[in-house]
Chain A
């Protein structure tokens, strides 16, 4: 049977996303846009001493993008900026090299067979990257 894009665990994130429209006092925020799919996302983070203390996202996006953002909010909350950047780099390289994700990131494995949709999954992470670079500059 064909690999399922919309795996159960991914849909659970889509339907009950972590961090969606969470009310935080952001110290940095960034907008991301994926023209291929039409995803629009805003990622906001609050930080204290180089550590992410709060993360939130909002915007109109597809199930893949939204689920990926939800997973991201679970993953990077309370990480240091360096650790968060490492997580982002891991996601990017896993997609580039087609290395399946383990555990909490595994709902994204369905996306490997749909190259056009990888951008949807990557968008929240790339937007967070922009966010982190802003925060460092400020």
Chain B
């Protein structure tokens, strides 16, 4: 909906507000790894410990009853969220990884045999590969891998080559954490059904972005985590069709999952409890329930905004020279994976981090995908609805800055100062020095017209002077400055010789008056030029001091 306001939405996330109030606004572009948490989720988890901390399904006292009621109500929320037909089909897990492990261990290792095939895709997360490798090792089943199209989706054109009566289970991601595109799961389900194979859908990356309906998908298992959809870490959901969960053995053994324990024999609990041994992560379950309500409340509002933001970011990233997105076409969710020629991913990510932009560099737990693409890794920028166009602009600016300066380093820290000292010593009298100032002015490159505006104009100079400062990856300052007056341009070069490519500490500690005295500068300038020079210095000190405070 067009009235969605990302700034207002952002205010629901305390961590993002805190970084802003501390004057160091965080640009969080690592949402595919985990999203930030809104206030209602934080409240729900802490409320459990504050007001209803008791074990569930155990004691008959009031506190335990109210904790159990909230806990089981959360299961109904999770059931509604993916439109499962029964709450018995909702199993709480530690997260997506554990959910897949339950299916691999309790279905795969039990029901597969050496003639069977497990079908995965090249874009799977390690969590949807490694458990199946273990099943293959134990049962002798064979793993086959679906290829991808050039835009990164699972290639469903030649499914018949991969899906045969030997196929026992197909485990695929709905949206890959690196590709960001919705796979044709319906097509895969249809092909799998024709041969009687079971289907597991990894929805970890999808749940925060698209509505999921397990009945219309007609999948056998679907898994997701809370923390990628604004919920707490350490909680996830395994959806499984009732008849399959019924015939699977328990995952772990102990308390909570039993009906009756005796040394003469133990019977296991009903669904879903037979898969939930031990005291569960109750506060996280309540937090996940809050996250589900949060997504249900906002998703329709932010979906259109998220689309526009995806289009904007896609367009802007494409304008960066030498930046190559891993896949053609715009992604369906705001996940962008790319490399920049001749620049190491981790160095770029660290530079962005220095500028308060959090992105991920590496293999994104998808090493087989990197291998498939013949890459060592990539940079991933993943956005959420609290991100803004202005934040995308900042990313683009910092990337451009990185590419033009590439870890810019001091050529020779003292040379600029020494050079000017040397010139002034050699020059005869004030006339000679004045000539030097005019010569120096010619060496100052012009500031782009767009930057010569009110924002960068220095007050207190009789001529117009513009100045802008930025810190680089090694926390050194770089100034862009300009004036229409030639003499001022020369004076700017002298001033910058003391401050350019220096740290804040060096700038604030530098004895600029002593430097001017050494050059014999101020006494020869007119009072108004002298105060203009001091205004420029004051502005630099102000910019640096403000960034430090």
Query: In the complex the two chains form, is B409's CB within 8 Å of A36's CB?
Result: no
Nearest-CB residue, chain B, relative to A37: B346
Q: Which of A6, A8, A38 is within 8 Å of B362, CB to CB?
A: A38
Query: In the complex the two chains form, is A117's CB within 8 Å of B346's CB?
Result: yes
In the complex, which residues of chain A have a beta carbon less than 8 angstroms from the beta carbon of B505?
1
Query: In the complex the two chains form, is A38's CB within 8 Å of B377's CB?
Result: yes
From 87 to 138 in chain A, residues with beta carbon under 8 angstroms from any chain B beta carbon are 114, 117, 120
Is residue A86 within 8 Å, beta carbon to beta carbon, of the partner chain? Answer: no
Most chain B Cβ neighbours within 10 Å, of A8, A12, A38, A120:
A38
Segment from A19-27, A56-64, A76-84 that makes contact with B: A56-64
CA distance A61 to B504 in the complex (A): 30
Q: Which of A2, A8, A38, A117 is within 8 Å of B354, CB to CB?
A: A2
Query: In the complex the two chains form, is B407's CB within 8 Å of A14's CB?
Result: yes
In the complex, which residues of chain A have a beta carbon less than 8 angstroms from the beta carbon of B36?
none
Q: Which of A35, A38, A64, A114 is within 8 Å of B345, CB to CB?
A: A38
In the complex, which residues of chain B have a beta carbon less than 8 angstroms from the beta carbon of A36?
362-363
Chain A contact residue count (CB 8 A cutoff): 24
Is residue A29 within 8 Å, beta carbon to beta carbon, of the partner chain? Answer: no
Q: Closest CB of chain A to B343's CB: distance in Å? A: 10
Q: Which of A8, A14, A15, A114 is within 8 Å of B350, CB to CB?
A: A114
Q: Which of A1, A15, A60 is within 8 Å of B376, CB to CB?
A: A60
CA distance A17 to B504 in the complex (A): 28
Query: In the complex the two chains form, is B376's CB within 8 Å of A6's CB?
Result: no
Asked whether A120 and B407 contact (CB < 8 A) given A1-B475, A38-B376, the answer is no
In the complex, which residues of chain B have a beta carbon less than 8 angstroms from the beta carbon of A14?
407
Q: Do most interface residues of chain B lie in helix, strand or loop, or is the interface mixed?
A: mixed
Is residue B474 within 8 Å, beta carbon to beta carbon, of the partner chain? Answer: yes
Is residue A50 within 8 Å, beta carbon to beta carbon, of the partner chain? Answer: no
Nearest-CB residue, chain A, relative to B370: A38
Is residue B484 within 8 Å, beta carbon to beta carbon, of the partner chain? Answer: no
Query: In the complex the two chains form, is A1's CB within 8 Å of B504's CB?
Result: yes
CA distance A65 to B363 in the complex (A): 17
Q: Mark B116-129, 1 if CB is under 8 A from A, else 0.
A: 00000000000000
Is residue B410 within 8 Å, beta carbon to beta carbon, of the partner chain? Answer: yes
Is residue B428 within 8 Å, beta carbon to beta carbon, of the partner chain? Answer: no
Q: Mark B41-67, 1 if CB is under 8 A from A, else 0.
A: 000000000000000000000000000
Most chain A Cβ neighbours within 10 Å, of B362, B367, B504, B505:
B362
Is residue B546 within 8 Å, beta carbon to beta carbon, of the partner chain? Answer: no
Query: In the complex the two chains form, is A11's CB within 8 Å of B474's CB?
Result: yes
Q: Closest CB of chain B to A106's CB: distance in Å? A: 15
Query: In the complex the two chains form, is B409's CB within 8 Å of A15's CB?
Result: yes
Nearest-CB residue, chain A, relative to B475: A4
Query: In the complex the two chains form, is A2's CB within 8 Å of B409's CB?
Result: no
From 33 to 75 in chain A, residues with beta carbon under 8 angstroms from any chain B beta carbon are 35-38, 40, 60-64
Query: In the complex the two chains form, is A8's CB within 8 Å of B474's CB?
Result: yes
Q: Closest CB of chain A to B188's CB: distance in Å? A: 29
Query: In the complex the two chains form, is A63's CB within 8 Å of B376's CB?
Result: no
From 502 to 523 in chain B, residues with beta carbon under 8 angstroms from any chain A beta carbon are 503-505
From 349 to 368 in chain B, residues with beta carbon under 8 angstroms from any chain A beta carbon are 350-351, 354, 361-363, 367
Is residue B211 within 8 Å, beta carbon to beta carbon, of the partner chain? Answer: no
Query: In the complex the two chains form, is B346's CB within 8 Å of A120's CB?
Result: yes
Query: In the complex the two chains form, is A7's CB within 8 Å of B474's CB?
Result: yes
List the count of A-B residue pairs having beta carbons below 8 Å apart: 63
CA distance A13 to B361 in the complex (A): 23
CA distance A8 to B503 in the complex (A): 11
Most chain A Cβ neighbours within 10 Å, of B363, B410, B474:
B474
From 371 to 398 in chain B, residues with beta carbon under 8 angstroms from any chain A beta carbon are 376-377
In the complex, which residues of chain B have a beta carbon less than 8 angstroms from the beta carbon of A11?
407, 409, 474
Q: Closest CB of chain A to B485's CB: distance in Å? A: 35
Query: In the complex the two chains form, is B409's CB within 8 Å of A12's CB?
Result: yes
Asked whether A8 and B409 contact (CB < 8 A) given A37-B362, A38-B344, A38-B345, the answer is yes
Nearest-CB residue, chain B, relative to A7: B474
Asked whether A6 and B346 contact (CB < 8 A) given A15-B409, A60-B376, the answer is no
CA distance A7 to B354 in the complex (A): 12
Q: Closest CB of chain A to B397's CB: distance in Å? A: 19
In the complex, which residues of chain B have a beta carbon less than 8 angstroms from the beta carbon of A120?
346
CA distance A12 to B409 in the complex (A): 8
CA distance A83 to B120 in the complex (A): 49
Q: Mark B485-511, 1 if CB is under 8 A from A, else 0.
A: 000000000000000000111000000
In the complex, which residues of chain A have a beta carbon less than 8 angstroms from the beta carbon of B344?
37-38, 60-63
Nearest-CB residue, chain A, relative to B351: A6
Q: Which of B354, B376, B503 is within 8 Å of A5, CB to CB?
A: B354
Is residue B347 within 8 Å, beta carbon to beta carbon, of the partner chain? Answer: yes
In the complex, which residues of chain A have a beta carbon less than 8 angstroms from the beta carbon of B475?
1-2, 4
CA distance A40 to B362 in the complex (A): 13
Query: In the complex the two chains form, is A6's CB within 8 Å of B504's CB?
Result: no
Q: Closest CB of chain A to B119's CB: distance in Å? A: 26
Q: Which of B346, B410, B503, B548 is within 8 Å of A38, CB to CB?
A: B346
In the complex, which residues of chain A have a beta carbon less than 8 angstroms from the beta carbon of B504?
1
Nearest-CB residue, chain B, relative to A6: B474
In the complex, which residues of chain A have a beta carbon less than 8 angstroms from the beta carbon of B503?
1
Nearest-CB residue, chain B, relative to A33: B376
Query: In the complex the two chains form, is B407's CB within 8 Å of A6's CB?
Result: yes
Query: In the complex the two chains form, is A62's CB within 8 Å of B548's CB?
Result: no
Most chain A Cβ neighbours within 10 Å, of B363, B475, B505, B548:
B475
Is residue B473 within 8 Å, beta carbon to beta carbon, of the partner chain? Answer: yes
Asked whether A38 and B363 contact (CB < 8 A) given A62-B344, A63-B344, the answer is yes
Q: Which residues of A contact B (CB under 8 A)?
A: 1-2, 4-8, 11-12, 14-15, 35-38, 40, 60-64, 114, 117, 120
22 examples of A-B residue contacts, CB within 8 angstroms: A1-B503, A1-B504, A2-B475, A5-B350, A6-B351, A6-B474, A7-B474, A8-B409, A8-B410, A11-B407, A37-B344, A37-B346, A38-B346, A38-B377, A60-B344, A60-B376, A62-B346, A62-B347, A63-B344, A63-B347, A64-B347, A117-B350
| Additional A-B contacts beyond A6-B473, A8-B409 (13; CB < 8 A) | A1-B503, A6-B350, A6-B407, A11-B407, A11-B409, A35-B367, A37-B344, A37-B345, A38-B344, A38-B362, A60-B344, A62-B344, A114-B350
Q: Which residues of B contact A (CB under 8 A)?
A: 344-347, 350-351, 354, 361-363, 367, 376-377, 407, 409-410, 473-475, 503-505, 548
